[in-house]
């Protein structure tokens, strides 16, 4: 079972990817990847931790979102 944090990342990716309806599919996915990496950079500078699995969870959510809208 996923922990809450990964679910939040998945949902964030899903929500960001819905921007693809406005900006296009490829740019929507670029936004998802940028958001995922930016969040981990933020975490690094604020708490000193980075979790690659959070990036993966956000991207997976983005991919799910793209599948739902295409």
pLDDT along the chain (70 residues), means of 10: 81 83 82 93 93 93 86
Instruction: Parse the chain into domains and list their residue ranges.
Output: 4-69
Q: What pLDDT sits at residue 52?
A: 93
* DSSP notation for 10-69: HHHHHHHHTTHHHH-HHHHHHHHHHHHHHHHHHHHHHHS---HHHHHHHHHHHHHHHHHH
Q: What pLDDT sits at residue 55?
A: 94
Task: Look up residue 61 and give its two tokens.
Answer: 């959510």
């Amino acid at each position: 079972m996923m922990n809450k944090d990964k679910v939040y990342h998945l949902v964030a990716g899903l929500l960001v990817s819905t921007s693809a309806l406005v900006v296009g599919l490829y740019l929507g996915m670029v936004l998802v990847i940028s958001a995922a990496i930016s969040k981990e950079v933020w975490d690094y500078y604020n708490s000193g931790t980075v979790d690659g699995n959070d990036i993966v969870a956000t991207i997976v959510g983005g991919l799910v979102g793209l599948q739902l809208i295409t």
